[in-house]
Amino acid sequence: MRQEVRALGDASAAERQRQARQAEAEKQARDRELNRERALAAQRKAEASALRQLIHEHRVLRDGGEIAYHFTDGTALKRLYVTAQQQRALVAGTLAIVRQEPFYELIPADIAERVRARDAALLLVWNRDGSPAASPTDETDYPPVPDDLMW
């Protein structure tokens, strides 16, 4: 009878050790997943910061802008005051408008391409050749509205 109790005790001790090893392995797996998520979040934060810095370093100053340039940000109609030269550059596609919370900035086309590659949602206005706004896809489409239209 003592041998049976001892055998049961050994079996339960082995089971407890197995459960402890399994719990430790699960904890390590959770820790690895948590560390991976933290690393991804830190990487996304660093990329967003680098993108903000890229926009800030290459923005075109709008000092002295007298012409209201209208554009949409989602469903909201927005307005930037730009100079006549900047307005022509926006229409020609050599300048673009990006959202840099809570502001909007003008950036050169080469920087707009880099912003589009990293986060296209920030790029609000960029009139490139062959863009859908520049050429109707169907005969029933209305002609495009010029970007320099004064409201």
Segment 17-46, tens digit of pLDDT = 999 999 999 999 999 999 999 999 999 999
Residues 94 and 26 in one domain: no
Domain identity same for 47 and 104: no
Residues 27 and 74 in one domain: no
- Structure confidence at residue 25 (pLDDT): 92
Note whether 63 and 124 are same-domain residues: yes
* The pLDDT of residue 64: 86
For residue 126, give its domain range.
59-151
Residues 108 and 136 in one domain: yes
My answer on whether 84 and 142 are in the same domain is yes
The three-class DSSP label of residue 20 is: helix
Domain total of the chain: 2
Q: Is the domain of 50 the same as that of 12? A: yes
150 & 77 share domain: yes
Phi and psi at residue 92, in whole multiples of 5°? -75, -15
**φ, ψ for residue 98 (rounded to 5)?**
-125, 155
Side by side, the strands of the sheet bearing 123-125 are 103-108, 95-100, 123-125
pLDDT digits (tens, 9 = 90+) for 42-100: 999 999 999 999 999 999 998 888 999 999 998 899 999 999 999 999 999 999 999 98
Gap between the terminal Cα atoms of the chain: 98
